[in-house]
Amino acid sequence: MVKETAYIIAEDKDSAAKLKGVIESDYIVTLFESPEDAINEILKKKPDVVVSEMVFSSIDGINFAAGLKEKCLESPLVILTKLHPTPKVAELLEIAGCFNRDLSDEDMLDKIKSLSGWKKRKVSPPQLPIITEGSIGIAIQQLLNEVYDEKKNECLACIGKKDFSRALEIATFLRRVFPTDLRTQGLIREIVHSKEAESPKTEQTSFTASREDINRESRAARGAVDSGNLALMLEIAKKLLLMEDVKNGVRLLRESVVFSEENPYLAERIVVQKESSSASVLDILCAGSVFLSFFIYPYVFAGAGICFGIAAWAMKKERKAAAVAVPMAVVIIALNLFNFPLLSDMVADWQGKAAARRVFSVEPKIFKPGADTLVIKYRVKEISPVVITAASSRQSAEILNNKEHNTGVFEIPWKGKTDDGSLIKNNFRVSIKIGDKSFTEKIYTGD
């Protein structure tokens, strides 16, 4: 019986020797210590199976597997990992299998032997979205950015919930659709570096869109293509990608590019529609509230801005303004707590002075005692005691003292005489006390 060939790639010599012992009864085994040494040999000699047990710090074999597929790998590839991948990971990478490396020897051999039929599959590089120039290119780039952001946030949420199997699925999806985006490396690194990912204590999940949902969207896509509805084609492509149906989503995006080249005026319209789309109401309310907090009621409006920003984030609405406004609101609240002088304090001071002027005013501000007449205007809303005085550093005068003053608006002229009959000489303050409220105006004396 002629043995099949197997290439094993493992950095750890003990792991490589153990794995060789498991499969050498059925395969002629060649060992490689790094993927760089193996890639050219794999593509040239096309072994019957490639088993990779890599423990790279950040990529754990995913980039290696994706890179081989991009170079049209014909051999079935098996990734052994310390993580707990679901079957969907291998499906997304379009490789033969991806398993946890702690399988029993018998199960490991059975799984590897069952993959011999993969060599008969038609090999082609995985299709990716086409980013072309012009309006359709802008529209597709916007769509892909939205898909990436949603899936990245979902992946981070799964990592936060310790659902590493689902997080690995999403990271693999992002590596498949966005092979050059380095942000995905950070997600994979966070999963691989987590010790809990090796022995998770929480429930690990997987997601696969239902065939019914995919068929429904596929039928809608065919209708959009037949009717020439480019906007609907892009909308359905986004839905398919969010459902992680890579093949249909990418295919529809590529069809959209071809269709737009045949109908360029439709591409122009789709971009205009995207640019003129209404902003998120929550985003506008967030920015508006924080803006008002600069001038009035800082705690109320800054707090409202934070609430609107959180709501926009929770409901996954447009939040470009909120991303800036919410941190500013936090700063405004913090500064107010420490009594830091802000514009809102100045506005409050102006409002207080304006309110005081409606109750009490003194004219002119520059006063020549004896020559000019100082006019004191005041308003009494209810019968109450009213006392008006003028005082400098050395002189004082009681202008009015009425214990039961009538209501109304009044004016009192004063020539500047103090209680001792002399004229007031230095700058002074005119004060009025109406009931329990007091107001003061500073007056400057002129020559």
Mean pLDDT of 76-80: 87
The Cα–Cα gap between 39 and 121 comes to 20
Q: What fold does the segment set 4-120 form as a domain?
A: Rossmann fold (3.40.50)
- pLDDT grade for 239, boundaries at 50, 70 and 90: very high
Task: Count other Cβ atoms within 10 Å, centred on residue 101.
Answer: 16
The Cα–Cα gap between 355 and 351 comes to 6
Contact yes or no for 4/48 (Cβ under 8 A): yes
| Per-residue pLDDT reduced to its tens digit, 345-390 | 555 555 555 555 567 888 888 888 888 898 988 888 888 999 999 9
Task: Give 417's DSSP letter.
Answer: B
Lowest mean pLDDT among 95-109, 118-132, 270-284, 395-409: 270-284
CATH pick for 351-445 out of 2.60.40, 3.30.70, 2.40.128, 1.10.287: 2.60.40
Contact yes or no for 178/62 (Cβ under 8 A): no
- pLDDT grade for 276, boundaries at 50, 70 and 90: very low
- pLDDT grade for 309, boundaries at 50, 70 and 90: confident
pLDDT at 138 over 90: no
| Per-residue pLDDT reduced to its tens digit, 384-410 | 999 999 998 888 999 999 998 888 888
pLDDT at 340 over 60: no
Lowest mean pLDDT among 149-163, 183-197, 285-299: 285-299
- pLDDT grade for 58, boundaries at 50, 70 and 90: very low
Higher pLDDT, 53 or 84: 84
Higher pLDDT, 60 or 377: 377
Q: What percent of the chain has pLDDT over 70?
A: 85
Higher pLDDT, 155 or 182: 155
pLDDT at 23 over 80: yes
pLDDT at 29 over 70: yes
- pLDDT grade for 240, boundaries at 50, 70 and 90: very high
Task: Count other Cβ atoms within 10 Å, centred on residue 416.
Answer: 22
| Per-residue pLDDT reduced to its tens digit, 313-329 | 776 666 667 777 888 88
- pLDDT grade for 298, boundaries at 50, 70 and 90: confident
Q: What is the mean pLDDT of the chain?
A: 82
Can you give the pLDDT at residue 129?
83
Contact yes or no for 129/140 (Cβ under 8 A): yes
pLDDT at 217 over 70: yes
pLDDT at 46 over 80: yes
Lowest mean pLDDT among 117-121, 226-230, 238-242, 394-398: 117-121
- Please name the amino acid found at residue 15: S
Mean pLDDT of 221-232: 82
- Please name the amino acid found at residue 432: I
Residue 52, φ and ψ in degrees, nearest 5: -115, 120
Can you give the pLDDT at residue 272?
43
Domain extents for the chain?
4-120, 128-276, 281-340, 351-445
Q: In b/e form, how buried is each residue of 252-265, taking b as 16+ CB within 10 angstroms?
A: bbbbbbebbeeeee
Can you give the pLDDT at residue 204?
93
The Cα–Cα gap between 190 and 323 comes to 24
- Please name the amino acid found at residue 63: N
- Please name the amino acid found at residue 405: H
Can you give the pLDDT at residue 69?
77
